[in-house]
Every structure is written in C-alpha cells, then in structure tokens.
Amino acid sequence: MLNLENQRFVIMGVANKRSIGYGVAQVLDEAGAEVIFTYRKDRSKDALVKLLPDFKNNSQAKLIQCDVEDDAAVVKAFEEIGQSGQINGLYHSIAFADAEDLRGRFSDTSREGFLKAHSISSYSLVIAAREASKIMADNGSIVTTTYLGGEIAVQNYNVMGAAKASLESSVRYLALDLGAQGIRVNAISAGPIRTLSAKGVGGLNTILHEVEERAPLKRNVDIKDVGRTAAYLLTDLSSGVTGENIHVDAGYHIVR
C-alpha cells in the first residue's frame, strides 16, 4: 500500500466528480497525501466544496482560484501555495477548446480558436511548471493529461489534437529543462472518459464504444485507472522516468 503521508500535491482542473483530476485526488488522498486544488469557475469551487467531505485526509483542502489564461493568477496561486510549504508534485488536468472547433472541418478552425486551445491546454503547463518548480521539494514531479489525438488524427478532435501534440512536446522540453533541478515531467495519455470536457468532442459515444470493442482489455478506463498511474508518476516509484507519455487507455493505442 502506497504511503504518501507528509507529501503535498497540487491538482489543477477538477470541475466535478467525473473529472480525471478527481480520480487523481482520490488515489492521492487514500495514500495519505495532502492535496491542494486550483480551479477556474465558481461552479468548480462549489463542486469541490461538496466533494471535500468524502476525502479521508483532505476534507479541509485548500482551494485556490487560478485562471491559467492569466499569467499573474498562476504566479499568485503558486506563491500562495508556497507560503504554507513546499510541494512534491503537480497534476495538470486542464484543457479547453470552443465547441465549434471540436467537430466539422479542422481547416475551418479560426486563429482565435486555435490560439485559445493552445494557450489553455498547452502553454498552461509551461507556466505552471515554471511556477511550481520554484516551490518544489527535491525529486519533484509534474504530470499532465493528454490524448491519443495528439499523436494521430482522430475524427473531430481537431484543434485539441494539435494542442495535445504541443503539450506532449512541451513535456519533453520541460523534462530536459527541469531535469537539472531533479524535477521529472511526464504525461498520461488517457483513454476517453465521459467528463464535462469530453462531452464537447463530437462523436464521443462512438469513440467509447470502439474502445470497448477493440482495446485489448475490452473496456474503457475510468478516472481511478488514471489516478493510479498518476500516483506512480508523481512519486519515487517512477524515479528514473521523465519525458515519458504513458497510455492509460486499456491498450487501445497498440491496436490497428
């Protein structure tokens, strides 16, 4: 049984109990870690307030507002977190694209929509990693969440696929950059999970069905599947691993 007592982790991007970040929080909480949440919308804060009593060790968790489109807000959030001590890891679980850019023709993507998706879904990792690294204890770890659509063209994923490719490349460059400080940076490529964000992607039901039919494990993954791999990547269990992208997708990515 993993024991993460006296370890502190920041999770960015829990909107409700279906969020991948919530699965990560559950696994870390069960292992005895302290978890600090950042959120954007008040609606997410309200959902978190309702979820906190279910945690064994984090019923009083700190909730800090942080819109990642605002550089100053990111700097302030990590300064505030650092005032109560160092952190051991960061789980980044944030993405956004306008609904019209997640269906139809990719070539119709507007410049504005393209930049917005990349700013929130990819650049946010770069600035969060920079600020988190300032308050990180020795051997810290940063993990983000990506999708197969960043590696291959998946119908409808469109601008988010381009943003995930950028995110995955940023993982490698951050790993090279922050490795000198002993900080590891990795990604989890999660299979499709019915979350608020995923519902914005056209044809989600078809994708979920196809994974169930074709993935080696003949099922879809859930947020705790992702959470357990996140716990591995966030802790010394993965001490020699950095710049990696681990697929938590029931093996779907190996099948053609």
Of positions 81, 90, 120, 231, contacts ligand NDP by CB under 6 A: 120
Q: Is 135 annotated as a binding residue?
A: no
Instruction: Mark whether 147 is an active-site residue.
Output: yes
- What is the phi/psi pair of residue 91, to 5°? -110, 120
Instruction: Mark whether 157 is an active-site residue.
Output: yes
Residue whose structure tokens are 């870690």? 33
Dihedral angle over CA of 175, 177, 178, 184, nearest 10? 10
Strand order in the sheet with 87-92: 63-65, 34-39, 8-12, 87-92, 136-146, 184-190, 245-248
64, 132 Cβ separation under 8 angstroms: no
Nearer to ligand NDP, 93 or 229 (CB): 93
Q: Is 120 annotated as a binding residue?
A: no
**Nearest Cα residue to 77 out of 67, 69, 66:** 66
Q: Does 195 bind ligand NDP (CB under 6 A)?
A: yes
Q: Does 51 bind ligand NDP (CB under 6 A)?
A: no
Of positions 7, 33, 40, 133, contacts ligand NDP by CB under 6 A: 40
Residue whose structure tokens are 């307030």? 49
Q: Residue 174: in which H helix or E strand, if any?
A: helix 158-178
Q: Does 118 bind ligand NDP (CB under 6 A)?
A: no
Q: Does 221 bind ligand NDP (CB under 6 A)?
A: no
Q: Could you say which residues in the range 2-21 bind ligand NDP, by CB under 6 A?
A: 13-15, 19-21
Nearer to ligand NDP, 32 or 202 (CB): 202
Nearer to ligand NDP, 54 or 236 (CB): 54
Cα torsion angle, 185, 170, 23, 61, sign: positive
**Cα of 28 vs its chain's centroid, Å:** 14
Of positions 7, 26, 44, 242, contacts ligand NDP by CB under 6 A: 44
Q: Could you tell me how many residues make up the chain?
A: 256
Q: What are the binding residues for substrate?
A: 97
Cite the active site residues: 147, 157
Q: What are the binding residues for NAD(+)?
A: 13, 19-20, 67-68, 94, 164, 193-197
Q: Note the residues at the interface with ligand NDP (CB under 6 A).
A: 13-15, 19-21, 39-41, 44, 67-69, 93-96, 120, 145-147, 190, 192-193, 195-198
